[in-house]
Structure 1
Amino acid sequence: MARCLNTRPGGGHENPANAVVCPRCDFLVQGAHIGGYEVLSFIGAGSYGHVYKVREPAPLGRIMALKVLRFDQFNEKALGNFFDEARRIADLQHPNILPVYNFGKLEDERPYLVMEYAPQTIYDLFRRDDGSRRVAYAEELVPYMRQAADALSFVHQNGLIHQDVKPGNLLIGRSGQLLLSDFGTTFYLGMQTHASLGEATGTAAYMPPEQWQGNPRRDSDQYALAVSCYELLSGRTPFVYRRVEEMWNAHFNELPSSPQQW
């Protein structure tokens, strides 16, 4: 028997030794093999997929990350987004963009992609000895923000807008370099949409007004990067609200306090 990698309360269901996906919760089973990659552990959730730590086949046996589309997101639109993400990242060869190495499908036709394993986010760089998070000092943060800005500049030069820049998508590679990740919500420059409040794409705490309206620009990513800097320097985002409507109003009408206040 083998356990699934569902880390939620009540998860970790027993499955047959040859199972790949747990039928009870949709998580992959520890020790399963997908395209030759051995599933080791659960890393976390992306915009529409689950991400796992895997080991590639011998002789190299390197540790990688495998992202698979969640079953509850398995529809035509999400499938198209997933394929688009793989193609976009494959075309974006840059030292500060998380690279994709392989692509395939599970037996149930859900796609997966294999990426470089980046064990940390930028949050993890700024911790006390006891492991608790601390705020960053400007001189610590600047080198990483330069790398993020370089990656975004390259993305924009290739006609794309990331749309979900935030600390959780700023990963740290095994060589210590910053890696921009999660291109699942990328927007093509020149597209025009008219999203309602409930349809805007991105993460509310980091989104500029034009993105709420469905018309992101290059500087929308710069705005989100600035919000990320604010959070890392102060320990909180400029606006902290629970309701989407309140967050929308804040980004349109409020001025943030100085990070030094916090």
Structure 2
Amino acid sequence: MEDFKSGDLILGYYKVLEKLGEGNFGKVYKVEALKGRYKGKVFALKVASNPYSVHYLWKEAQTLILFHHQNIVSLQSYLYKKDKKELYLIYEYMDFGTLKDYVEKKGKLSPEEALKVLRHVVNALEYLHSRGYIHSDLKPENVFGKRVLGGVLWKLGDFSLVRIRGDVSIIDVKGTIGFIAPEIFRGEIHRSSDIYSLGCLTLYMLTGKVPFEGKDFKERKEKNKRGEVEIPEEIPGKLKDLLERMLEVDYKRRFRTARELKEYMVKEGLI
């Protein structure tokens, strides 16, 4: 796959401003639209050429294009070029970067700031869960910030969507060590699996450390598999109680959906 440079044109009218990154699913560029209804607007454009990535992202794009929520990164359009066998996806540009970058820069977040991010992500999950989807890969790299008047609006992106069939879907293990719900290692997933991952994400914000520390990957994976996570005593009472509910090893004892979690947070004055 071609590596575009600053000034190059993609699809004839997206001017490359800079390369934002590269991963298993393709390369991402910051681009400016030179014509059409979005002329002058900046986007994030992902280019995928690996057959698996193209197939996966094509299916995902058909769902994401229908999502419209202020806390979900919007997919503006997508196009498959048969001659190059490449898929192009145009997303809104998130100018504040990822939550991972932000936490690494600050060391850790205050309880107040962590709760603000949590509220935004809960809103996004509530939208997904109510439409029959599970995100299944919640982690700091998949939460993006956008500068808005008076602060930062946090949005959920980079989906590994799982469609819910009944109460449970059986899947291959998805997610990232440190943020995976224990039941996923058994090949099953529930809406509450997202809640567990969100608990890990919240703990990461408050401590600046990925949960399930160990001397190597194998030890970290085994701890994650067993759900052996420690919640520091210095975390304030109500927030600590919330985390304990979110990080229950038994998925039946967690909040079942993002809506349940949100209702609890409202009741406890955390929203």
> RMSD value over aligned CA atoms?
2.3
Q: Is the 8 A contact 2:171 2:189 kept in 1?
A: no
Secondary structure of 1:164's partner? Answer: coil
Q: Is the 8 A contact 2:19 2:30 kept in 1?
A: yes
Q: Report deviation, 1:244.
A: 4.8
Alignment of 1:127-166 (within 5 A): 132-166=105-139
Partner Cα separation in structure 2 for residue 239 and residue 261 of structure 1: 18
Aligned counterpart, 1:33: 9
Q: Report deviation, 1:148.
A: 0.2
Cα separation, partners in 2 of 1:46 and 1:224, compared to 1, 3 Å: farther
Alignment of 1:1-262 (within 5 A): 22=2, 27-35=3-11, 36-46=13-23, 48-58=25-35, 60-69=39-48, 71=49, 74-75=50-51, 77-106=52-81, 107-119=83-95, 120-126=97-103, 132-175=105-148, 176-183=152-159, 185-190=160-165, 192-193=169-170, 195=172, 200-241=173-214, 243-253=216-226, 255-260=228-233
Partner Cα separation in structure 2 for residue 203 and residue 93 of structure 1: 26
Aligned positions, number = 225
Cα separation, partners in 2 of 1:163 and 1:110, compared to 1, 3 Å: same
Partner Cα separation in structure 2 for residue 192 and residue 54 of structure 1: 37
The Cα offsets for residues 54-74 of structure 1, whole Å up to 9 and x where unpaired, read as 1112473111100111x4xx1
The Cα offsets for residues 136-194 of structure 1, whole Å up to 9 and x where unpaired, read as 010112122111001011111111111111111110113221110001x2111127436
Higher relative contact order (CA 8 A, sep 6+): 2
Q: Is the 8 A contact 2:204 2:211 kept in 1?
A: yes
Structure 1 residues not aligned, in runs of 5+: 1-20
* TM-score w.r.t. length of structure 1: 0.77
Q: Report deviation, 1:105.
A: 3.1
Q: Is the 8 A contact 1:67 1:113 kept in 2?
A: yes
Q: Is the 8 A contact 2:109 2:206 kept in 1?
A: yes
Cα separation, partners in 2 of 1:85 and 1:174, compared to 1, 3 Å: farther
Q: Is the 8 A contact 2:212 2:228 kept in 1?
A: no
Q: Is the 8 A contact 1:233 1:259 kept in 2?
A: no
Cα separation, partners in 2 of 1:247 and 1:124, compared to 1, 3 Å: closer
Of all paired residues, the percent bearing the same amino acid is 27
Partner Cα separation in structure 2 for residue 251 and residue 126 of structure 1: 21
The Cα offsets for residues 93-135 of structure 1, whole Å up to 9 and x where unpaired, read as 11100001121135512101000000211245457xxxx4321
Q: Is the 8 A contact 2:144 2:155 kept in 1?
A: yes
Secondary structure of 2:107's partner? Answer: coil
Secondary structure of 1:111's partner? Answer: strand
* TM-score w.r.t. length of structure 2: 0.75
Instruction: Judge which range, 235-244 or 213-222, deviates more.
Output: 235-244
Q: Is the 8 A contact 2:170 2:189 kept in 1?
A: no
Secondary structure of 2:44's partner? Answer: strand
Q: Is the 8 A contact 1:47 1:182 kept in 2?
A: no
Q: From the two aligned structures, give the one with the greater helix fraction.
A: 2
Structure 2 residues not aligned, in runs of 5+: 236-271
